[in-house]
Amino acid sequence: MKKRENTILSAAFRLAATRPWSEVKLADIAAEADMSLADLAGVIGGKADILQLYGRQLDAKMLASLETDPVSGSAHDRVFDILMRRLELMDADKAAIRSIVTAPAASLPDYARLAGSMMQSQDWVLSAAGIEDTGLRGAMKTTGLALVYVRTLRVWANDDDAGLARTMAQLDRSLRDGADWIKRLETPMTLATALSSLARGFMRARRGPASHESGQPGSATPPPPAPDSPASETTTP
């Protein structure tokens, strides 16, 4: 199966290098790969599958390269170096990628799948850089890095300078802007979390005495606080 996937991927990228990606049809890819359309359908579900396959292979190559040549420095430097390495791995496919990144998604489902694939790739970048996170902050990092990568990819696709000066400048600027954006949101996020916890505690406090009074009329002893109520929690700054 892997050999057939690679044959299809190579055929699709050869065609994309010579014409707009939107004009590359599945029948064209099958013919270029010397396969029937039925055989093609047995391996992929559409053009979006081809791009997802390419992304997964690229992620694997990028991560493998880090095993023998790890990145170092600040978080900014590590992410910068990893993303530049990812772009360098695509250099041989630049003509095809230039065609692909300027083409609109064929459909909303395709767009959603490709966006999901892009987010997964950025999760690998964050993990390789040692700065992956969870929850809302993790989602913000992944989404922000995906936007940074897309902007940089569009510049890279049209950057014919051997030193990729425009690409590196775009990536550096976008990463710094993204870091500033997350910092600006940290205080509102912390405040929102605190207010949410306070509101939940307030509602528990209101429910507790009411339940006690209805179950034991006239009792003068209030019920003990719930284990996760503000009265029993240790608050950390």
Q: What is the pLDDT of residues 60-108, one digit of tens each?
A: 999 999 999 999 999 999 999 999 999 999 999 999 999 999 887 667 7
Q: What is the mean pLDDT of residues 231-235?
A: 37
Residue that wins the pLDDT comparison between 108 and 11: 11
Pick from 195, 210, 209, 203: which is nearest to 228 by CA? 203
Q: What is the pTM of this model?
A: 0.76
pLDDT at 31: 97
Give the residue with greater pLDDT, 164 vs 191.
164
Please tell me the predicted confidence (pLDDT) of residue 231: 38
CA 67 – CA 129 distance, rounded (Å): 12
> Rounded mean pLDDT of 107-127?
89
Neighbours of 106 (CB within 10 A): 14
Rounded CA-CA distance 233/18 in Å is 64
Q: What does the mean pLDDT of the chain come to?
A: 84
Q: At what angle do helices 108-128 and 47-68 cross, to 10 degrees?
A: 0
DSSP 23: G
**Could you tell me which residues come within 8 angstroms of residue 231 by beta carbon, excluding any fewer than 6 positions away?**
205, 225
Q: Which of 20, 10, 90 is nearest to 55 (CA)?
A: 90
Compute the distance between CA of residue 150 and CA of residue 230 in angstroms, rounded to an integer: 44
Sole residue written with tokens 């004009």: 23
State the average pLDDT over residues 219-223: 46
Query: pLDDT (tens digit, 9 = 90+) per residue, 193-211?
Result: 655 666 677 667 666 654 4
